[in-house]
Structure 1
Amino acid sequence: MNAIISASELVSALAGENPPVVLDVRWQLGVAKAAGEPPFDGLAAYASGHLPGAVYVDLDRELAGAPGTGGRHPLPDVEEFGAAMRRAGVSAARPVVVYDGGQGWAAARAWWLLRWTGHPDVRVLDGGLPSWTGDLSTDAPVPAEGDFRPVPASDGLLDADGAAALARSGVLFDARAGERYRGEVEPIDPVGGHIPGAVSAPTNENLGPDGRFLPAEELGDRFKALGAVDGTAVGVYCGSGVSGAHEVLALAVAGIPAALYVGSWSEWSSDPSRPVAVGPDPQ
């Protein structure tokens, strides 16, 4: 099953016999902004124009639990997540396409959650909203209730101990920017650096200049050069489990299965007893 879909393919799918449910998950990381600049409002962006028929999904409220010891974007309660997806019209027998404002992180978080909880057909719009050349709508549809019932998989998810172990037994990718991995800057979390043994693999290097994923072969070559060779278990983490989902998506495009450490650095760095590595090497 393909993990991504182009805008032209989506147009065809929407005209088909079983059109996908389309979810708008526009979101931005809540970092400090310039004085006087309001925080990003995904719902307002949705209201100003979205793909026709798309339903808005709030990442912070519906794709994550409350921030705490599990990190800034821990897993949502499974039943609450299922209820949110059903409200959005998600059903087990109907495809789902997810998009965001173009970065792909938020869409990938929705993709990962739906796939991990058992939905068989979920794809991310490659390039996000900027790739869409058709009309936009300001209507807010109220879809018929879906029937999706999430059943979390027994694999594909790492906790802190599992991530630490995988960094030694397999390959654990750090999807954050290189300067955060090296510990040179840390704008959000309490400590800079990375999980000992983790390999730097910034997620923005999975995309071309047009904001779309690199071809599958190029992605495969990139990840193999970083250690994701055949037979090696692969995991990913980031700051809080959002951009890491985008890296898992890129790995899926390349045909490489990978687990996600959802708590990621925001959980790891909140415990002073956990070791921290700095510099360019995994250590």
Structure 2
Amino acid sequence: MVAANVSIPKLLSPHALHSLLQYQDSSKARVIPLDVSLVYPPASEYTQHLDGRIPGAKFFSMKRYAAEDPELKTTIMLPTAGKFVGAMRYLGIRRDDHIVCYDVMGFWTPARGAWMLKVFGHEKVSVLNGGLPAWKAAGYSIETGSYPAAEPSDYPFVLRNKEMIASFDSVASSAINGSKPRVIIDTRPVEEYADIGHVSNSFSLPFTNFLAGPPPNDMRVLPEERWKGIITKVVGDDLFKQMEDKGNELQVISTCGWGVTACTLWIILGSFGVNTTVYDESWEGYEMRAGNPVEKGSPDNLHPGTPTKGVTSFPELQIAIDALPDDGTPKVDEVSQ
């Protein structure tokens, strides 16, 4: 049981989550593990969920419940308000439940799940550090097989907090002007940043820098006392000095390939009080618009690249939702206010 006046930690260890699940009072606000796995190359996350999950976990499809952009065809986007609320009601989740996001990889998608919940104003949100692999490594049991649908909840209709989402216009203006106090940080692998290209005037800070081991090995986030050193090694002390000088005027835009690993930086920088937004479209959306300026090269050898051509570098991942094979993922209704 998590009391209303107790601060909700951003990261939970398997031991902490196990304790919460063991001693919660089911008549009050609940602790619910939420599997938000997203697997590349395309695979059935729901099948993996049924093959092994944290006891009592529910499944939210970041792929099938996403919104689709009819023009850009971007693949992993925030759900519409109606789809999000419809999913929450279907899963039986209540507004005061403490949701703990996790995935089957360790730390690939759960920060995205936490950011999504916060965008829609869900207050009690944590991430399981190390995900399902860490849970199993700690010796805790898993559930397998199908399970009955939950009793639908009365989750209220909510809208997105747009202040948490970086717009294309804000990214594009920074790419052209390098405007301050706005900083863009790219969390993709440095090879993608350098060879495929990146938003001009953006820093390279791979999200894996914050992990204990390279994927798919130990995907636990390193201790918090190491975070600032990792950040300053890339962007210098200037980011934190600007934060002290400008406060909330300083805006960091976190971006990646599809708006997934960018959310790791949202968690990390948020712990320092840095105003961090996530560019939901990320590189996919930026690249799918023709004529945007591109920079290439490693951080110590940057040079202009060919402007974007309006196509994606990863067409094999750009699969329309209605073209995905039916793997049994529960279908949820889009509700209206």
- TM-score strictly above 0.5: yes
Whole-Å separation in 2 of the counterparts to 1:95 and 1:152:
19
Name the Cα RMSD after superposition.
Answer: 2.1
> What's the % identity of the aligned pairs?
28
Residue number among 1, 9, 34 corresponding to 1:2 in the alignment: 9
Structure 2 residue runs without a partner (length 5+): 1-7, 304-337
1:61 counterpart = 2:64: yes
Deviation at 1:74, TM superposition (A): 2.4
Alignment of 1:109-258 (within 5 A): 109-132=112-135, 133-138=139-144, 139-148=146-155, 149-166=157-174, 168-169=179-180, 170-183=182-195, 192-209=196-213, 210-227=218-235, 228-229=239-240, 230=243, 231=247, 232-258=250-276
Report the residue type matching 2:19 in the other structure: S
Change beyond 3 A, Cα 1:211–1:26: same
CA contact (8 A) 1:86 1:146 kept: yes
Q: Which residue in 2 is equivalent to 1:77?
A: 80
Tell me how far apart the structure 1 counterparts of residues 73 and 291 of structure 2 sit (CA, whole Å).
15
**What's the CA shift string for 1:149-199, capped at 9, x where partnerless?**
33311411111121233553221110100011112xxxxxxxx20000000
User: Partners in 2 of 1:55 and 1:140 — Cα distance?
Assistant: 10
Question: By how many angstroms is 1:253 displaced?
Answer: 4.4
Work out whether 1:20 is the aligned partner of 2:31: yes
Query: What residue number does 1:36 align with?
Result: none
Cα distance change of structure 1 residues 242 and 64 upon mapping to structure 2, 3 Å threshold: farther
Which amino acid letter does the alignment assign opposite residue 151 of structure 2? A
Q: Following the alignment from structure 1 to structure 2, what is the Cα–Cα distance between the partners of residues 135 and 252?
A: 32
Question: Is contact 1:119-1:150 (8 Å) kept?
Answer: no
Native 8 Å contact 1:67 1:74 kept in 2: no
Shift of 1:68: 4.9
Give the TM-score of the pair, scaled to structure 1.
Answer: 0.86
Which residue in 1 is equivalent to 2:314? none
C-alpha deviation, 1:141, in angstroms: 4.3
| Deviation sequence 1:106-150 (CA, Å, 0-9, x none) | 222211110011000111111000111311112524222233333
Q: CA deviation at 1:69?
A: 1.0
Seen in structure 2, the aligned counterparts of structure 1 residues 275 and 25 have a Cα distance that, compared at 3 Å, is same
Partner of 2:326: none
| Number of residue pairs the alignment of both structures matches | 267
The residue type equivalent to 1:235 in the other structure is I
Change (3 A) 1:63 1:249: farther
Distance 1:193 1:178, change over 3 A: same
Q: 1:19 to 1:12 in 2, by over 3 A?
A: farther
1:272 is aligned, of 272, 290, 294, to: 290
198-207 vs 20-29, greater mean Cα deviation: 20-29
What does 1:23-38 align with in structure 2 at a 5 Å threshold?
23-30=34-41
1:277 alignment partner, SS class: strand
Contact 2:106 2:129 in 1 (8 A): no
Q: Counterpart of 1:105 in 2: which secondary structure? A: coil
Unaligned runs of 5+ in 1: 31-38, 184-191
Deviations 1:235-272 (A, max 9, x none): 10111111212222233345534100001110111122
Counterpart of 1:47 (choices 22, 30, 50) is 50
**Contact residue 49 and residue 136 of structure 1 kept, 8 A:** yes
CA contact (8 A) 1:103 1:211 kept: yes
SS of the residue corresponding to residue 112 of structure 1 reads helix
Residue of structure 2 in register with 1:102 after alignment: 105
Structure 2 CA distance for partners of 1:239 and 1:207, relative to 1, 3 Å: same
1:56-97 deviation digits (Å, cap 9, x = unpaired): 221111244367516222232111111112212221111111
The residue type paired with residue 266 of structure 1 is E
Describe the shift of the 1:156–1:226 C-alpha distance in structure 2 as closer, same or farther (beyond 3 A): farther
